[in-house]
Structure 1
Amino acid sequence: MTTLSKKSKLIYATAFVLRLAIFSFPSVTNTLAQRVELSTPVTSFKRLTEGVFLYSSNVPPYDGGVFHQSPLLLCLFSFVMTLPSFTIPLLFSTVDLLIAYALSTITQLKQQRDKSIKKLQVERDITPILPSTVAALYLFNPLTILSCVSRSTLLFTNLSIVLALLSALKGKSKPAMFWIALASYLSFYPTMLLPALLLNVYSVGSFAGWISVLFGFSRFFSGSWDFLNSTYGTIIFVTDLTPNVGMFWYFFIEIFDQFRSFFMVVFQFHTFIFTAPICIKLRNQPIFAITVLCGVMAIFKSYPSASDASLYLALVPIHDELFKLDCRYGFLISNLFLYASGLAPIFWHLWIYAGSGNANFFYAITLVYNLGQILLLTDIVYAFLRRQFDVENPNAIGKPVLHK
């Protein structure tokens, strides 16, 4: 690990103090914890608190259809909640800082790798983004701050993902497989990142071993296999239709029951189908492959939240060479994110509290939000492929490419 500069220490310290300052207002944190944009049935801190209460009262936490999080988190917070109240703000703030530090280290490793590959002539005069800047972009992203203060347990999944990527870049196969196994155990969808990690390290057996250990511990702690249906069953079959910023909930509220199974398979298959072509096409760029897959996961998973977008948006600046040359829709994408961020709380209030709107209002703005993510994803993929083509064909720089 590298030594932090004074500038980096100031960034981390400021971000840490900012989070603790917001945590000092319980009314704010409690309100944010209930926002559907920040918390979902499978990441809600409020539901986690209910699960801990049920467990401590010797009531099976997975029997009531309310608690949908893993036994590992239940075990962790059963202990944490016995500590002084300031422990939880410290824990979530520290996790955010660890994610930022891992992102800055990933940036350094990527830039070291890029020194040995061919570049465009114009790029040789451009200074690459500073690792501390990547950390700052994550730590001071409003979505990141809100996710942390809302105590979304997805932060633990995000930490596991970046640590898996960091370990893979360092060539440490067993730690990489442990962290991606932990992320998959916590949230299911990170399993789609495994093929991209295997582009760097080859250890499928280690992944299976860690998953088995995590499930074995969960069975021992919970006393039964009931958690499987309450956690992964809920994620896969979308049994809880609480609104969120994704595209599943409204569709499955409206659909006829006889068609539910068919469309469930289609929706879930659609999320995972991107993995193979992305890993094949980007096999020489595993960091970018994981960035794209995190974007796909943030858009198409069954219970997405702002925390998913915060990780994806933190990985994008690592590929700063793309933004300096080939990205086309930055202004439009920025406006879509701002538009959705401003109107989502308003439309939710009109629907739930004012009674002057309906579910269509809120769902429409979530579609705008996801449109912004899709445009960003397609834009950076286009920029990557265009840059790759220009590197191999210098005479074609600036010229349109026609496919026959």
Structure 2
Amino acid sequence: MDSKFFKLLLLGGAVRFYFCRTPLAPMIGNRVEFATPLNSHKRMQEGIFLLQNGIDPYQGDLVHESPLILSALSGLFQKYPHFLPIFYIILDVCTAALLYAMSLRFVKQKQEQQDVERKEYAKDTEELQFNPLDKFDIPELVIVAYLFNPLTVMSCIGMTSTVISNLFLAFFFYCLVKGLLLPCLLVLAFETVRSFYPIVLIAPLLLVFSRNSIRRGVAISVLFIVSCLLVAIANYFVLNSWNFLDGTLGFIFYFRDLQPNIGLFWYFFTEMFEHFRTMFLITFQLNATVLYLVPLSIKLRKEPLLLATVLVALMAVFRAYPSLGDVGFYLALLPLWKRCWKFMAHGFVVFTFFLVTLSMMGALWHLWIYAGSANANFYFGATLAFSTGQIFLITDLLFAHVKREFCLFNGQKILIDGEEARIVLK
């Protein structure tokens, strides 16, 4: 880690500190694109106040943060509220540092794997291979993509608990690449009990640590279940009640709050007939968790970190209460797959989707809620287009990876009947 790394961290922290002192910060904390019922700073404040006064925060339907987080942050919220922006900035900077360290280790591993496989590579594939400069370029791109992405910056200055989630996910990625099983299990169990959807990350964890051993995989799965139970018991001792399970996991699964967000749940559950609710709940939650898990795990069994990246991206699209902070996190992981960019064909389309839809969300929200000259269809249309752009990005990355793997071993120019062949997605 050189001086440039620390300069980037300081600059990223300075950018966040500057915007925390502007009127933009409280406005972002109230925007539905960033603050959801799960990560809202105001709801966390309310939960800490209730907990400090001996009232069960989960008796109502307002607080949905885990008791351990509420208890851990209660002293800071109650005694030093003026230092809260700095606290969130430090957490976000730590997330960037973990992603940088993870990237360094990842590039080193890919270069070692490449040295073993190079004899099998085709002759014209040098540009598809990791080169010595990548150990500097890729980690720098990752840290820049996280620290200076407007989505992560605004999520931080809005003091949403997505900052905490991003820190835990970054630590999970770091431990996954470093081969640290126990920390991986503990942080994944904590995030699973806290927000449900990270349970799908057990798949890349098993691919890394089971080493094609079914017995070892079963043992790790049992350890994960035990870790989840221990985290749940720790939450119980904070509250002396199991109400938090319904207030966190139950609230997410049953989707009780229909507040609009950038996701796909709220509009459907607002418009549909009540007797279809159970069917849609099961369908939407399956789509957000296990539907893509098995096929992606089979296809990406040799690339567990790419599998983890794709699963985090799919979580950001299909979870019940997504926010733009979740999107910013997985966008920072895309530079890891720099060697696939050559085959990504929809970059301009995705960029246009993101730019136009993110610009329209604020305007359409104002027209709907304040001006009264639009309705929910307008705002949902923008969020639906935004989700479509994310799906384009994820599928483009997956297909680019498949094409790169094929070209590495078969060459970039393949002739069939005297004409250059093309790999086409059907």
Q: What band does the TM-score fall into relative to the shorter chain? A: over 0.9
| 2:253 paired residue number | 236
Matched to 1:259, the amino acid is F
> Within the alignment, does 1:35 sit opposite 2:31 as a pair?
yes
Whether the aligned pair in 1 keeps the contact of 2:364 and 2:374 (CA below 8 Å) is: yes
| 1:195 paired residue number | 203
| 1:382 paired residue number | 399
> Within the alignment, does 1:399 sit opposite 2:421 as a pair?
yes
1:352, 1:251 → 2: CA distance?
19
Relative to the length of structure 1, the TM-score reads 0.95
In structure 2, relative to structure 1, the CA distance for the partners of 1:395 and 1:10 (3 Å cut) is closer
Matched to 1:307, the amino acid is G
In structure 2, relative to structure 1, the CA distance for the partners of 1:221 and 1:402 (3 Å cut) is closer
> Within the alignment, does 1:46 sit opposite 2:42 as a pair?
yes
| 2:159 paired residue number | 151
Whether the aligned pair in 2 keeps the contact of 1:164 and 1:178 (CA below 8 Å) is: no
In structure 2, relative to structure 1, the CA distance for the partners of 1:372 and 1:201 (3 Å cut) is same
In structure 2, relative to structure 1, the CA distance for the partners of 1:124 and 1:281 (3 Å cut) is closer
1:319, 1:402 → 2: CA distance?
20
In structure 2, relative to structure 1, the CA distance for the partners of 1:68 and 1:237 (3 Å cut) is same
1:125, 1:175 → 2: CA distance?
29
Relative to the length of structure 2, the TM-score reads 0.90
In structure 2, relative to structure 1, the CA distance for the partners of 1:240 and 1:38 (3 Å cut) is same
Whether the aligned pair in 1 keeps the contact of 2:128 and 2:340 (CA below 8 Å) is: no
1:402, 1:24 → 2: CA distance?
50
Q: How does 1:260-271 map to 2 (within 5 A)?
A: 260-271=277-288
| 2:320 paired residue number | 302
Match for 1:12 among 9, 14, 24? Answer: 9
- Higher mean alpha-carbon deviation, 287-296 vs 176-185, is at 176-185
Matched to 1:34, the amino acid is N
1:403, 1:6 → 2: CA distance?
44
Match for 2:100 among 97, 104, 111? Answer: 104
Q: How does 1:98-177 map to 2 (within 5 A)?
A: 98-115=94-111, 116-117=113-114, 118=118, 120-124=125-129, 127-128=133-134, 129-177=137-185
Matched to 1:17, the amino acid is A
What RMSD over aligned residues (CA atoms) do the two structures have, in Å?
Answer: 1.7
Whether the aligned pair in 1 keeps the contact of 2:128 and 2:404 (CA below 8 Å) is: no
The Cα of 1:396 is off from its aligned counterpart by 4.8
Match for 1:291 among 309, 321, 326? Answer: 309
Matched to 2:241, the amino acid is S
Whether the aligned pair in 2 keeps the contact of 1:40 and 1:244 (CA below 8 Å) is: yes
In structure 2, relative to structure 1, the CA distance for the partners of 1:24 and 1:357 (3 Å cut) is same
Amino-acid identity (%): 33
Whether the aligned pair in 1 keeps the contact of 2:138 and 2:336 (CA below 8 Å) is: no
Match for 1:355 among 358, 372, 377? Answer: 372
In structure 2, relative to structure 1, the CA distance for the partners of 1:7 and 1:124 (3 Å cut) is same
| SS of aligned partner of 2:209 | coil
In structure 2, relative to structure 1, the CA distance for the partners of 1:403 and 1:155 (3 Å cut) is closer
Match for 2:273 among 247, 251, 256? Answer: 256
The Cα of 1:402 is off from its aligned counterpart by 6.2
| Deviations 1:243-297, CA, capped at 9 Å, x for gaps | 1000000100001011110111011111221111111110111111111111111
The Cα of 1:395 is off from its aligned counterpart by 6.1
Matched to 2:244, the amino acid is F
1:287, 1:361 → 2: CA distance?
37
| 1:89 paired residue number | 85
Matched to 1:13, the amino acid is L
In structure 2, relative to structure 1, the CA distance for the partners of 1:376 and 1:52 (3 Å cut) is same
Where does the alignment leave 5 or more consecutive residues of structure 1 unmatched?
none
| 1:339 paired residue number | 356
| 2:240 paired residue number | 223
1:113, 1:167 → 2: CA distance?
14
| Deviations 1:186-243, CA, capped at 9 Å, x for gaps | 2110001111111112432332232122111111111211111111111111011111
1:125, 1:191 → 2: CA distance?
31
Whether the aligned pair in 1 keeps the contact of 2:130 and 2:339 (CA below 8 Å) is: no
1:29, 1:214 → 2: CA distance?
33
| 1:313 paired residue number | 331
Matched to 1:362, the amino acid is Y
Whether the aligned pair in 1 keeps the contact of 2:190 and 2:228 (CA below 8 Å) is: yes
| Number of aligned residues | 399
1:71, 1:403 → 2: CA distance?
47
The Cα of 1:125 is off from its aligned counterpart by 8.5
| SS of aligned partner of 1:200 | helix
| 2:193 paired residue number | 185
| Deviations 1:136-169, CA, capped at 9 Å, x for gaps | 1110000010111111102212211121121121
- Higher mean alpha-carbon deviation, 69-78 vs 292-301, is at 69-78
